[in-house]
């Protein structure tokens, strides 16, 4: 990558991470990069082209955990215990950028938007595999637990990533215990407490 293109890409990444994609204009990128608009458009003819370039650059420097790495862990609780702190560590290291991207999803190029939206589902699919029974409650708990917004809420409550992971694992255990029990009067039967087992 030539130096001018690299400066422009870095400027866009900095703006996306600080003010978000929706508020980032081509003029602001040119100003931050110290180039004219003509130079900017010579390297990136439109916003989508620029966004794709800076997205690829940012992902290369901040790779998301690959859900496939957890598929070899047979025990589903062990899988959760390994995956969630790793996932939460990545969320912590990329919080500002990810929060801005999620907030501004509507303005992102379709391919990038799809990737952002599908990642937590892919993680949830891996973490919901390997259980003895299907459970809507357990799947919902896992889906909730892998969401960036869930981690962010827990982190803003002052929880460390390991503490947040333990809390979500407890939620998933509760859902796993009670999510397959018979229903009575439209409510789950929950006479036993999780700690009693």
- Rounded Cα distance, 128 and 83, in Å: 12
Res 197 pLDDT > 80: no
Residue-wise pLDDT for 25-39, tens only, equals 999 999 999 999 999
Confidence of residue 178 (pLDDT cuts 50, 70, 90): confident
pLDDT at 180: 56
* Between 134 and 87, the higher pLDDT residue: 87
For the chain, what is the mean pLDDT?
90
Residue-wise pLDDT for 88-103, tens only, equals 999 999 999 999 999 9
pLDDT at 132: 85
Cα dist. 146→165, 169, 176 in Å?
10, 11, 16
pLDDT at 186: 47
């Amino acid at each position: 990558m030539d130096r001018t293109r690299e400066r422009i890409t870095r400027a866009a990444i900095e703006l996306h991470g600080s003010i978000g994609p929706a508020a980032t204009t081509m003029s602001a990128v040119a100003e931050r990069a110290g180039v004219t608009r003509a130079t900017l458009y010579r390297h990136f003819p439109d916003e989508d082209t620029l966004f794709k370039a800076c997205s690829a650059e940012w992902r290369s420097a901040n790779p998301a955990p690959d859900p496939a790495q957890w598929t070899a862990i047979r025990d589903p609780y062990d899988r959760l215990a390994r995956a969630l702190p790793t996932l939460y560590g990545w969320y912590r290291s990329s919080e500002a950028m990810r929060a801005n991207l999620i907030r501004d999803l509507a303005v992102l190029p379709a391919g990038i938007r799809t990737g952002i939206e599908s990642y937590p589902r892919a993680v949830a699919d891996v973490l919901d595999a390997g259980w003895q029974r299907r459970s809507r409650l357990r799947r919902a708990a896992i889906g909730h637990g892998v969401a960036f917004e869930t981690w962010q809420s827990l982190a803003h409550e002052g929880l460390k990533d390991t503490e947040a992971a333990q809390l979500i694992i407890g939620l998933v255990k509760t859902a796993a215990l009670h999510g397959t029990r018979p229903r009575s009067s439209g409510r789950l039967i929950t006479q036993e407490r999780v700690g009693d087992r």
